Structure 1
Amino acid sequence: MVQLVIHLLGRFAVRVGGEEVPPIAWKRDRAAAIVKLLAISPQHRIHREQIMEAFWPDQDAELAGANLRKAIHFARRAMGAHDLIAVNKEIVAFADEVDLVTDLERFEAAAKRALRSGDPAECEAAADLNSGVLLPDDRFLEWLDAPRERLQQLNRSVLRTGRLWHRLIALDPTDEEAQRALMQAALDAGNRGEAIRQFDQLRERLHAELGVGPSKASIELYERALALSGVEPALPAERIRASIAWALVHLQSGEFDKAAELARETRAQAFDSGLAREVGEAGAVLGLTAHMQGRWPQLFRSEFTEWVRSRDDFVPSVFDGHLCLAEFCLCDAKGHAAIAASARELMCVAEEADSIAGRALAGLILGEIARCAGDLDAAEKHLTEAERLHVGANALSGRVLVLERLAEIALARGQKWQAGRLIQRALGDAAQSWLSNHLLLRLQALAVRAATTPEKVEEAILTGDRLLTPGACQPCSMALRIASTVALTQAGKLEQVDRRLNEAERIAGMWQGGPWAAALWEARGLQRQAQANPVRALAAFAEAAARYEELGRPLDQARCNGRMSDVMPEHAPR
């Protein structure tokens, strides 16, 4: 009897007879995948056709069967024993002589016992056995969706039954029931500070996903904490955060006028109190309401003209509030001329007002318009000057965006080394910004594209996947999702592509317009090309090129036309 221990939670590792299989033995992905799939399958056995469908859905039976035989061979070799995996007729399984132990089964058994008893101590003991996400480095494999969801639900039930609120929040910081339970416990103990801290944590995590805020029940509990008698009065920042949360409640209810009115009042209070970050947060709600009503460009123009003239020192904070919407809304070719005119007007106003921040912002916008139009030299000139001005204005987020756009230009010129240097320069400021969750997503998209070896590409994608938490900002995550999809397609790892593309298309469907639809058509074209489906690849590239043309992005359009030529030269645009 050979003892086989497989770790699936938090990491993948295999021990055979007490000796761990070295990670390098799993350099063939399919060998590791066979072991993982058997480990999570009921009774650790599975029909060969199910494996072929999971791993090679687009291949014919003969080729998929040959690939399966090779994968089993390399899995056996990695574990150092031929007889650990048996193939009996159509069933693939671990051999009867194997004494198999998985950490997943240990946790599931303990969790089910704890839920039957309802004993908090048993729940805590069971929770201790769960050491992390199921196979975290394989996040986008579809055959892991069902077992991973089952594990997450079981784990949440154990934590909730055991009232292990801190652990539940560590698993999901946006779980409002857990956050409110801890807020209430703090209030019951007379600890207003802890209740406020808990609410701020909830608000922070929910704010990471654009336009989302705490529920009415959470805000009301927070306000009870602020009104607690016998303690110091609430600070202005604490009351302002409650107002911002209420504005988001109105926004999510479709009460746009109420949301905008409260956001303006709150931003004025933050301005009077010198609270730069809260000025930006209230401005974000104001920008969202304007976007929902189809008037964001007009607001964007009036906002910055007003602030440059009145309070130059708050211009970076106002821009922070518009950061995510600017990523989406500044890409509309139909509005390029108007936006460029607004930026030139803003530059004149900023020069008259001697506003460094205003000039920096105007330069960033002009550089972005020139980059989208394909004039890289003009874009680089605007952006280089804008970076200098952003440093002078101490505008962290704006400088990161400038460096991000300069890295885009370097990549367009084929200068990956230069893009890498610019990314590294931006990372320090991104980490210090209160918008770090947004900015790091953008920079990681560039890191994937700038990676120079297959190993660095894989590392960059894994780092990016860890940033794509449930609360990740959707607009800011799109470039990363698409870059990872393209890189995996080009690496031949097609099994990870479809799931990513489906998720990206779901998000893009919620935000009509912008460059994402074109980029997704291009990624689909690459996928179809890798699947040896030239007709569908050609159609996807043609659609992408047409959409880039509508957006006024000639370099992207030319790239897609070139891809069409690679697929079928006779159909290439003339």
Structure 2
Amino acid sequence: MTALVEGEVRIRLLGGFRVSVGSRDIPDGEWRLRKAKAVVKLLALAPGHRLQREQVLDYLWPGLDPDAAGGQLRKVVHEARLVLDPSLSALDRYLISGEQLRLDPESTWVDVEAFEAAAMRARRTGDPAAYAAAIRLYDGDLLPEDRYEDWAITREESLRSDFLALLVEQARLLEARANFDGAVSALKRVIAADPVHEEAGVALMRVHALAGRRHEAMQEHERLRAALDRELGIEPDPATERLFEQIRSGLSSEPELASELLEQVGGLRLVSGDFQGAIAAFVAAIARLRGSSANHRSARLHRKAAQAHLMMQDAAAAESHLRAAEGLLAGRKDEAEKARIMEARANWLWSVGRYDEAQSAAEASLAAAEVHGTGEDVAAVQETLAIICHMRGAWRPGLQAEIERLGDVGDEDPRLGRIFEFHCCIGEYHLYGDGLCETVEDYARGTLALAIDRGARHAQAFAWCLLGESLLLQGRWDEAAGCLERSTELYAELDARSGALPWQRLAELAVMRGDSIAAATYLRHGMAIAVVSPLARHAWGRLYATAALDALERRDPAEAVRVVRSAAATTARYGECPTCTALLYPMAAEAFAALGDRAGATVFAQAAERVGRSFQSSAWTAMAESARGSLALTDADAGGARERFLSAARLYERAHQPFWSARCRLQAALAGAGCPADRHLLDDSAIAFEQLGALRALAAARRATSERQGTE
């Protein structure tokens, strides 16, 4: 809880309505008019703590004549002002009225807003302490006294769902770090609120088993089964039953069971991007091992711990685990695991800059995996080879050589979908990289021709998408649409778990053209695929960035912020790829800035700058500059914002992205003071939008021009 600030209004809505001003708590009896409280509640919940006068009238007096409703509103606003500040000389100090009603943002603190901001910080950092801080802010469900009011119902459900999700996420972090009692406490809070929350029930079973409380684990299974039958008339998910059987059959071998479960936990944390938690789980699993299989299983766990350290770019720690894994399997006949360790060694070698050795190790690993491993093993080595080729500046010829070789495999091989999903991520680097983006179109056409010649349809789907992306960014939208649609058709025929990216790009194109209905349809297709994709962390950031862009183009920053918060929750589950998520950051900064939320805008402006520093190129630097422009607006620094947006426009132009360049010119003009140079920026952006066919953006530019002319 933050310290009290003299004169600050603190409004609590979670667990019931309470208000304090500085050190003065306002008793409930001081609110003589119920709707005076309602006005404060509505404004406290509203984005930016402001609502149009007509919105308030519709909420509180929906059936009343407008003049009569307006009289009632003036009465309750006067009452609310007196309660907040009885001093007649400062009646509008906290509640300001006009065409809009708003709470003064400089002196207002709201627990819902603080909870949502803390939840987003927790999800972005993955820090258990940050989760605990966010959870403490949830003091109960939203406004229980108003739970049946239309304006409260949806928000109450959303906040409650987010709170329970935070508890589950916190439990996952604690479980991986062997804080089993803390995890149990969090999960029991979820189950107390929602007895049929199967994810929490399954996690509680596992945590009890890890803590050696097998009887409690089996009791939780019976409780969950009974609750699901009683409340929903369904049986537990097959995965729940598999875990139950695993726990039941492992009763006589507790250390081995605990080690196996900890390995599963580590795998889950690895997928979600919690590499510290994954390492902790794998190391704890090693410590639990007993019996004849200890060497084999320890080698596997050391290899997984090394992979987690490599994801954190800690080559020294990874090396110690790799040496341990290699030593444990020396002289043993487990060729599949040896191939996996060799693949991890290849990753270590490229991470320390030994690219030739990395290439040799990866090729040896691939040869062994193809004979002794699984399809997933082969796909993992292919990803490693792709990274090595990329690091050596040879991704393009390497991919074409791969298509030549894989053309003989046949498109029924399930690994191909995953392999080409990963190539889409590397393709993103080429689409946005200086000195690379200019040649992507020709490369995509050549790759497509090769893939068609070899009959490699997964490669064709990839190449159609890459070509469509290049044309989209160049502003050749009609051509782009045909390529992207062909890519979706091929992916649909080949693999239900691949192909989110062309759907996302079609949605992006629809947003740019101003067609939100089509964009929503495309996004639903892409999100359905992302749910089951083995490389979901590459898809979700792009999908949510597009949804946020659409909300901003519709002039609905509150919806864009909701999208950004959903993206943070998804990141906590699936992890995040910085390059694939890059566009979300400036969109998020713009959305928070539009609502006057400097703290939120700062978080994402800093994230955009990190990407710009890590992957230097005109396009990614442009994203960072535009995010900084949005942040400057929250400081009322119109001149600084204008310069940042103009810088972004020039960088986007250098990157051959006309839509984004024009959009930043429009933002620069809107931030400016209406000088002749700004009018030129409006004209330039309007011309560009008209040439592109960006009808909604064109209307926005013309509207701004008309408004400027009307004030001159």
Give the superposition deviation at 1:346: 2.4
Q: CA 1:564 to 1:447, structure 2 compared with 1: closer, same or farther past 3 Å?
A: closer
Higher deviation after alignment, 366-375 or 275-284: 275-284
Shift of 1:406: 0.6
Q: 5 Å matches for 1:403-422?
A: 403-422=503-522
Query: 1:123-162 residue pairs with structure 2 within 5 A?
Result: none
> Could you tell me how far 1:240 is from its partner in structure 2?
2.8
Q: 1:211, CA displacement in angstroms?
A: 10
Distance 1:381 1:213 in 2: 48
Deviates more, 1:372-381 or 1:529-538: 529-538
Structure 1 residue 483, shift from structure 2 partner = 2.3
User: Which residue of 2 is the match for residue 244 of structure 1?
Assistant: 343
User: Distance between the aligned counterparts of 1:422 and 1:416, measured in 2?
Assistant: 10
| Counterpart-to-counterpart distance in 2, 1:73 and 1:514 | 40
Residue 183, structure 1, aligned to residue 285, structure 2:
yes
Deviation at 1:72, TM superposition (A): 10
CA distance in 2, matches of 1:270, 1:249: 18
Asked if the contact 1:276–1:317 (Cα under 8 Å) also holds between the matched residues in 2, the reply is: no
**2:451 maps to which residue?**
350
Using the TM superposition, give the Cα deviation of residue 371 of structure 1 relative to its aligned residue in structure 2, in angstroms.
0.5
**Higher RCO by CA contacts (8 Å cutoff, separation 6 or greater):** 1
Q: Secondary structure at the match of 2:579?
A: helix
For residues 308-340 of structure 1, the C-alpha deviation after alignment (integer angstroms, 9 at most, x for no partner) is: 466555654432342322211223464345332
Aligned 8 A contact 1:209 1:473 in 2: no
Instruction: State the distance in 1 between where 2:662 and 2:391 align.
Output: 33
Q: Is the 8 A contact 2:545 2:584 kept in 1?
A: yes
State the Cα distance separating 1:13 from its structure 2 match: 5.8
Residue deviations 1:369-403 (CA, integer Å, cap 9, x gap): 11011011110011101111122232733x11111
Residues in 2 aligned to 1:75 and 1:553: alpha-carbon distance in whole angstroms:
41
Measure, in 2, the Cα distance between the counterparts of 1:429 and 1:130. Answer: 31
CA distance in 2, matches of 1:390, 1:346: 17
Question: What's the counterpart of residue 335 of structure 1?
Answer: 436
In the alignment, does 2:409 pair up with 1:391? no
State the Cα deviation string for residues 517-558 of structure 1 (Å, max 9, x = none).
Answer: 112212222332343322212211221111111111112112
| Deviation, structure 1 residue 209 | 7.0
CA distance in 1, matches of 2:287, 2:331: 14
Matches of residues 500-511 of structure 1 in structure 2 within 5 Å?
A: 500-511=604-615
From 27, 39, 63, the equivalent of 2:45 is 27
Secondary structure of the residue aligned to 1:478 is: coil
CA distance in 2, matches of 1:445, 1:485: 11
Task: Return the letter of the residue paired with 2:523.
Answer: I
Structure 2 gap ranges (5+):
1-12, 19-24, 29-36, 50-89, 97-102, 113-134, 138-178, 189-210, 212-257, 685-712
> Quick one: structure 1 residues 306 and 235, their matched pair in 2 at CA, closer, same or farther if it must change by over 3 Å?
closer
Q: Distance in 2 between matches of 1:182 and 1:553?
A: 49
Supply the distance in 2 between the matched residues of 1:319 and 1:126 (Cα, whole angstroms): 40
Aligned-partner residue type, residue 463 of structure 1 = S
Report the Cα distance in structure 2 between the residues aligned to 1:467 and 1:554, rounded to whole angstroms: 31
User: Shift in Å at residue 422 of structure 1?
Assistant: 1.2
Give the match for residue 158 of structure 2: none
CA contact (8 A) 1:209 1:472 kept: no
- Are the counterparts in 1 of residues 488 and 503 from structure 2 also a CA contact under 8 Å? yes
Q: Please list the CA deviations of residues 80-109 of structure 1 after superposition, one character each: whole Å capped at 9, or x if unmatched.
A: xxxxxxxxxxxxxxxxxxxxxx969xxxxx
Which amino acid in the other structure matches residue 256 of structure 1?
Y
- Asked if the contact 2:589/2:630 (under 8 Å) is kept, the reply is no
User: CA, structure 1 residues 303+386, in 2 after alignment: closer, same or farther (shift >3 Å)?
Assistant: same
**Mapped partners of 2:569, 2:485: distance in 1:** 31
Q: 1:498 to 1:301 in 2, by over 3 A?
A: same
Kindly report which structure 2 residues correspond to 1:308-319, keeping only aligned pairs within 5 A, or say none. 308=407, 313=413, 315-319=416-420
1-side partners of 2:181 and 2:432: how far apart?
Answer: 52
1:443-493: CA deviation from partner (whole Å, max 9, x where unpaired): 222233334655543332212123445963222232222322222122322
- Deviations, residues 177-199 of structure 1 (Å, cap 9, x unaligned): 62343232343344558657756
From 526, 536, 539, the counterpart of 2:630: 526
Q: Which residue of 1 is the match for residue 10 of structure 2?
A: none
Evaluate the alpha carbon distance shift between residue 263 and residue 443 of structure 1 in structure 2; reply closer, same or farther with a 3 A threshold.
Answer: same
Judge conservation of contact 1:521–1:541 (CA < 8 Å) in 2: yes
TM superposition shift of 1:202? 4.9
Contact 1:357 1:395 in 2 (8 A): no
3-state secondary structure, aligned to 2:384: helix
Alpha carbons of 1:242 and 1:445: their partners in 2 closer, same or farther (altered >3 Å)? same
Q: Which residue does the alignment assign to 1:376?
A: 477
Aligned counterparts of 2:494 and 2:316: Cα–Cα separation in 1: 30
Q: In structure 1, list runs of 5 or more residues that go unmatched.
A: 1-10, 32-61, 79-101, 105-122, 133-158
Question: Post-superposition shift, 1:242?
Answer: 1.5
Q: Deviations over 1:205-264 (max 9, x none)?
A: 6687799897123334445665798xxx5362x333222211121122221221122122
The structure with the larger Rg is 2
| Aligned match of 2:542 | 442
Aligned residues of 1:361 and 1:386 also touching (Cα < 8 A): yes
Give the RMSD, CA atoms, in angstroms: 4.5
**In 2 relative to 1, CA 294–437 (structure 1 residues): closer, same or farther, beyond 3 Å?**
same
Tell me how many residue pairs correspond in the alignment: 454
Query: Contact (CA 8 Å) 1:309, 1:350: kept in 2 or not?
Result: no
Q: Which residue of 2 aligns with 1:498?
A: 602
> Counterpart of 1:535 in structure 2: which amino acid?
G
Alignment partner of 1:570 is 2:676: yes
Cα pair distance change 1:562/1:308, threshold 3 Å? farther
Q: 1:323 to 1:77 in 2, by over 3 A?
A: closer
Matched residue of 1:326: which SS?
A: helix
Q: Does 1:475 align with 2:587?
A: no
**Equivalent in the alignment of 2:567:** 464
The aligned counterpart of 2:276 is 174
Equivalent in the alignment of 1:286: 385
How far apart in 2 are the matches of 1:449 and 1:235? Answer: 49
Task: Please list, as runs of the form range in 1=range in 2, the aligned pairs for 1:550-569 lying within 5 A after superposition.
Answer: 550-568=654-672, 569=675
Which residue pairs with 2:52 in the alignment?
none
**Gap change, CA 1:212 and 1:457, over 3 Å in 2:** farther
Q: Is the 8 A contact 1:331 1:515 kept in 2?
A: yes
- The TM-score with structure 1 as length reference comes to 0.66
Tell me the equivalent position of 1:261. Answer: 360
Three-state SS of the structure 1 residue aligned to 2:287 is helix
Residues 104-147 of structure 1: CA deviation (Å, up to 9, x unaligned): 9xxxxxxxxxxxxxxxxxx8767877789xxxxxxxxxxxxxxx
Contact 2:597 2:634 in 1 (8 A): no
Cα distance in 1, alignment partners of residues 111 and 468 from structure 2: 55
TM-score normalised by the chain length of structure 2: 0.55
Indicate how the Cα distance of structure 1 residues 259 and 70 shifts in structure 2: closer, same or farther if over 3 A, else same. Answer: same
The CA distance in 1 between the partners of 2:187 and 2:497, in whole Å, is 37
| Contact 1:304/1:315, CA 8 A, preserved across alignment | no
Deviation digits for residues 153-203 of structure 1 (CA, Å, limit 9, x no counterpart): xxxxxx9xxxx9969969855346623432323433445586577568657
SS of aligned partner of 2:656: coil
Q: For residues 212 and 476 of structure 1, what CA distance do their matches in structure 2 show?
A: 24
Structure 2: how far apart are the matches of 1:175 and 1:274? 27
